[in-house]
Chains A and B, each alone.
Chain A
Amino acid sequence: MTWIQAIQSKLPLPRPEHRSNQEIEDDLDAEFAFHLEQSTRDVMNERGLVREDASDVARARFGDVESIKKRCKRIALEERIMLQRVNFVMMLIVALLVIGLGIQVLVTQRYNTLALQAITADLARMKFEAQTPSTANSTASVLVQGDVHKPGWYPIITRDGATFLKDLVERAEPTEASHSVSIRLPNQELGIIVPDAEIPSRVMQPGAIVNVKSRSRLSKSNSAEKPAATDSLPNAPARAGFVYVDGDVPRPGVYNIPSVGQLTLRRLIAAAGGPKGGGDYGVLISGIENNKNITRFESKHFTQDSDQDPDLLPEDRILITSAASKLDRARADALYDFVKQLMSQVSAEHAGDHAYIRGVLDKMEAELPTKYPNNPDLQGLIKEMIAGRRKILEYDERIPAPAPGTAPATSQAPTGAGATAE
Chain B
Amino acid sequence: MADTQKTQSPELLQGTLDMLILKTLAGAGAQHGYAIVRRLRQVSEDVLQVEEGSLYPALHRLEKRGYLDHEWRASENNRRAKYYRLTPRGRAQLRTETAAWEKLAGAIDKVLSSNAVGASA
Contact = CB atoms under 8 A, between A and B. Distances in A.
A14 B57 CA distance: 14
A75 interface: yes
Given A12-B65, A68-B53, A34 B60 contact: no
Given A34-B81, A39-B34, A63 B57 contact: no
Interface residues of B, number: 23
A5 to B, nearest CB: 13
A62 B51 contact: yes
Contacts of A75: 57, 60-61, 64
Contact of B52 (A9, A63, A72): A63
B33 A35 contact: yes
A38 interface: yes
A71 B51 CA distance: 14
A-side interface mostly: helix
B12 to A, nearest CB: 19
A409 interface: no
Contacts of A27: 82
A31 interface: yes
A35 B64 contact: no
Interface in A272-294: none
A296 interface: no
Interface string A336-362: 000000000000000000000000000
Interface in B72-91: 75, 79-82, 89
Contacts of A32: 53, 56
Interface residues of A, number: 26
Interface in A62-112: 62-65, 68, 71-72, 75-76, 78
Nearest to B38: A42
Nearest to A16: B64
Contact of A71 (B37, B57, B65, B79): B57
Nearest to A13: B66
Given A15-B66, A78-B64, A31 B53 contact: no
Given A31-B32, A63-B52, 4 more contacts: A9-B66, A42-B38, A71-B57, A78-B64
Among all A-B residue pairs, the 7 with the closest Cβ atoms: A63-B53, A68-B53, A63-B51, A71-B57, A62-B53, A38-B34, A35-B34
Interface of B: 32-34, 37-38, 51-54, 56-57, 60-61, 63-66, 75, 79-82, 89
